[in-house]
C-alpha cells in the first residue's frame, strides 16, 4: 500500500508521505463534514464556511493521525528501534517500524504511545471546545477532534493484532512465555478473529440500512485481516528460514569479471549466455566491487560500449554483506532494510559467494513443500 506515495518531508528524521488513497478519504471526509456534520450543528452558516471548515477539520484529523504515529515513533526511537517511514493512507496512517522491539516492555510502550497521544489530543480538544464556545467554527472543530481522537484511541486499543491493542496483547504474551514468535502467532490469529467480527458487524449494518458506514467497517475488517494474515505468513517464513545458514543457498560460483570489461561485452558474453544475475569485479587480483543487472540498466544503452564494469560497480566497501553462517532470515531482513536484491557473502575479508533474494525465495518454496 505504501508503493505510490507523495513525500511530505521529514519530522524527527522520519520521512512522512501520503499514499494516493489518502486523497479519496480526505475528499470523502471533507464532503461528510461539510454536508452533514457542520450543517446539523450550525444551521445558519454561509455555504462556503461549511466547506472551508470541512477541509480544515479533515486536515486536522490527519494531523491527529500523524501525531498518533509520531507517538509510536518517538517511543520506538527511545529504544533504538528504527522507524522507516510514516505513511498516511485511506485507513488512517502507519508508522513502519523497521525492526522488532528488543524487549516485551519496549514493545508494550511503543504500542501504547500512539493511543496515549490520541487520548491526550482528545482531552486538549475537549478543553479547547469549552474555551472557544463563543466562536462557533472553532468550537465545532474542537468538538469533532475530541470525538474523533477518542474514537481513534479506543478503536486502536481493540485487542486484535496488528491494532495497537493487539500489539499490547502480544507484548504481554511475549513477556509471559518468552516466545515472540508464538506470541505473534496467537495475537495475529486473535486479530483475524476480530477482523472477521468487524466484517460481520459491517455486513449487518449495511443490511439494516446504514450502507455506507457498514461497508466502511467491512473494508476496515478486510484490511485488518490481510495485515494479520501477512504477519502470520511472516512468522511462518521466519520459522522456516531461521534454522538455515546463508552458505546453504548462496551461489559460490559467481563469475568474476575484469574492471576494464565494457558493459556491452558483459551483457553479450555473460548475461545473454547464462542465468547469472551478479558479477564480482576484480582489479589486480582483488575483488573490489559487484555489478548487477539493475546497475547496468541504469546506464543508457548507447553508453554500454564506452562504460566499464569498474565504472558502474558498487564498491565492495560500500556494499552491505552477509556471512556464511548468518541465518537466511536475517540476510533477507537485511536485503529488505537496504532495498537490495543480493548480498555478497564475505568470510575473512574474501567474497566467497553471492546470495540473491530469488535464491532465498525459491529455497523457501522448497522448504515449505518438503518440511
Ligand atoms: Zn497506533
- What is the predicted pLDDT for the residue at 371? 66
What's the pTM?
A: 0.74
Distance in angstroms (rounded) separating the CA atoms of residues 8 and 18: 7
Per-residue pLDDT tens digits for 165-180: 999 999 999 999 998 8
C-alpha cell read off for 67? 501525531
Q: For residue 12, is it left (φ>0), alpha (ψ between -120 and 50) or beta?
A: left
Q: Which residue has the cell 522456516?
A: 240
* Structure-model confidence comparison of residues 199 and 133, the more confident one: 199
- C-alpha cell read off for 35: 454536508
The whole-number pLDDT of residue 2 equals: 41
Is there a contact between 4 and 18 (Cβ–Cβ < 8 Å)?
A: no
pLDDT of 148: 92
- Number of CB atoms found within 10 A of residue 83's CB: 23
Task: Give the helix/strand (H/E) hosting 125.
Answer: helix 104-131
Q: What radius of gyration do the chain's Cα atoms show?
A: 26
Q: What percent of the chain has pLDDT over 90?
A: 31
Q: pLDDT band for 109, please (50, 70, 90 cuts).
A: very high
Delimit the CATH 3.10.580.10 region(s) of the chain.
246-370
Distance in Å, CA 345 to ligand 1 centroid: 38
Predicted confidence (pLDDT) at residue 250 exceeds the cutoff of 70: yes
Query: Is residue 355 a contact partner of residue 245, using CB atoms and an 8 Å limit?
Result: no
Residue 193 has pLDDT above 50, yes or no: yes
CA of 356 to the centre of ligand 1 (A): 34
Q: Which helix (H) or strand (E) holds 314?
A: strand 314-315
Percent with pLDDT over 70 in the chain: 98
The per-residue pLDDT for range 272-294, each reduced to its tens digit, is 887 676 788 888 777 888 888 88
Q: In angstroms, what is the span from residue 304 Cα to ligand 1's centroid?
A: 49
The rounded distance, in Å, linking the Cα atoms of 62 and 100 is 26
For 246-370, give the CATH class.
Answer: alpha beta
Residues marked active site are found at 69
116 has pLDDT over 80: yes
What is the 158 CA–ligand 1 centroid distance (Å)? 11
**Average pLDDT for the chain:** 87
Q: What is the DSSP letter of 341?
A: S
Amino acid at each position: 500500500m505504501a508503493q505510490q506515495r507523495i513525500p511530505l518531508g521529514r519530522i524527527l528524521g522520519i520521512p512522512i508521505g501520503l499514499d494516493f488513497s489518502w486523497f479519496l478519504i480526505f475528499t470523502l471526509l471533507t464532503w461528510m463534514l461539510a454536508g452533514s456534520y457542520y450543517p446539523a450543528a450550525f444551521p445558519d452558516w454561509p455555504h462556503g464556511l461549511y466547506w472551508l471548515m470541512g477541509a480544515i477539520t479533515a486536515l486536522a484529523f490527519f494531523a491527529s493521525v500523524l501525531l498518533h504515529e509520531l507517538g509510536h515513533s518517538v517511543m520506538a526511537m527511545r529504544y533504538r528501534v528504527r522507524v522507516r517511514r510514516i505513511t498516511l493512507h485511506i485507513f488512517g496512517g502507519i508508522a513502519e517500524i523497521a525492526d522488532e522491539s528488543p524487549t516485551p516492555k519496549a514493545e508494550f510502550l511503543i504500542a501504547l504511545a500512539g493511543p496515549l497521544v490520541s487520548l491526550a489530543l482528545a482531552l486538549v480538544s475537549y478543553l479547547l471546545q469549552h474555551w472557544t464556545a463563543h466562536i462557533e467554527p472553532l468550537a465545532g472543530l474542537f468538538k469533532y477532534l475530541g470525538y474523533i481522537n477518542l474514537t481513534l484511541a479506543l478503536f486502536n486499543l481493540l485487542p486484535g493484532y496488528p491494532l495497537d491493542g493487539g500489539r499490547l496483547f502480544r507484548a504481554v504474551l511475549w513477556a509471559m512465555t518468552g516466545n515472540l514468535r508464538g506470541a505473534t502467532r496467537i495475537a495475529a490469529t486473535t486479530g483475524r478473529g476480530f477482523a472477521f467480527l468487524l466484517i460481520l458487524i459491517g455486513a449487518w449494518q449495511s443490511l439494516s440500512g446504514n450502507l455506507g458506514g457498514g461497508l466502511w467497517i467491512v473494508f476496515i475488517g478486510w484490511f485488518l485481516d490481510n495485515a494479520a494474515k501477512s504477519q502470520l505468513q511472516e512468522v511462518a517464513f521466519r520459522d522456516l528460514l531461521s534454522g538455515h545458514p546463508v552458505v546453504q543457498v548462496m551461489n559460490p560460483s559467481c563469475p568474476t569479471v575484469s574492471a576494464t570489461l565494457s558493459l556491452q561485452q558483459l551483457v553479450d558474453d555473460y548475461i545473454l549466455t547464462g542465468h547469472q544475475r551478479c558479477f564480482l569485479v576484480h582489479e589486480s587480483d582483488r575483488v573490489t566491487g559487484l555489478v548487477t543487472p539493475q546497475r547496468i540498466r541504469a546506464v543508457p544503452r548507447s553508453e554500454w560500449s564506452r562504460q566499464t564494469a569498474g565504472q558502474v560497480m558498487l564498491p565492495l566497501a560500500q556494499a552491505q554483506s552477509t556471512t556464511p553462517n548468518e541465518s537466511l532470515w536475517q540476510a533477507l531482513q537485511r536485503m529488505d532494510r537496504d532495498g537490495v536484491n543480493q548480498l555478497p557473502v564475505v568470510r575473512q575479508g574474501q567474497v566467497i559467494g553471492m546470495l540473491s533474494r530469488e535464491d532465498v525465495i525459491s529455497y523457501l518454496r522448497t522448504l515449505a513443500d518438503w518440511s
